[in-house]
Amino acid sequence: MEGKTLSELTDQELLAAEKKQKSASIVNALLIGMLIGIIVYGVVDNGFGFFMVIPLFFIYRLANKEKYNKGELERLLKERNLKR
């Protein structure tokens, strides 16, 4: 699946990409929640400082990490009648 656009993927590859994207989004949500907890604890314990920027940077990177556009993936799955 390296270097392919969504429209070039086979049906099986599309279903695998959907499954992978769902599990990745759950893991990202957990990591973002943990980082937000670290930020809240740090602010309550020490006040806001420079080191609060580091978890914010990781949250930004995790939120923008998706390989494929979710809307386009959903549209292709519906076009090919693969949506369950």
Domain that holds residue 37: 15-79
Q: Record the tokens describing residue 38, joined without a space.
A: 């670290």
pLDDT in tens, 55-77: 888 888 888 877 777 788 888 88
Distances (CA, A) of 22 to 12, 14, 25, 68, 70: 16, 12, 5, 11, 10
Is residue 37 situated within a structural domain? yes
| Cα 13 to Cα 82: distance, rounded to the nearest angstrom | 11
Neighbour count for residue 15 (Cβ, 10 Å):
16
Is residue 29 situated within a structural domain? yes
| pLDDT at residue number 4 | 76
CA 11 to chain centre: 22
Is residue 5 situated within a structural domain? no
Is residue 28 situated within a structural domain? yes
Is residue 3 situated within a structural domain? no
Is residue 6 situated within a structural domain? no
| pLDDT at residue number 1 | 43
Number of domains in the chain: 1
Q: Is pTM beyond 0.85 here?
A: no
Is residue 9 situated within a structural domain? no
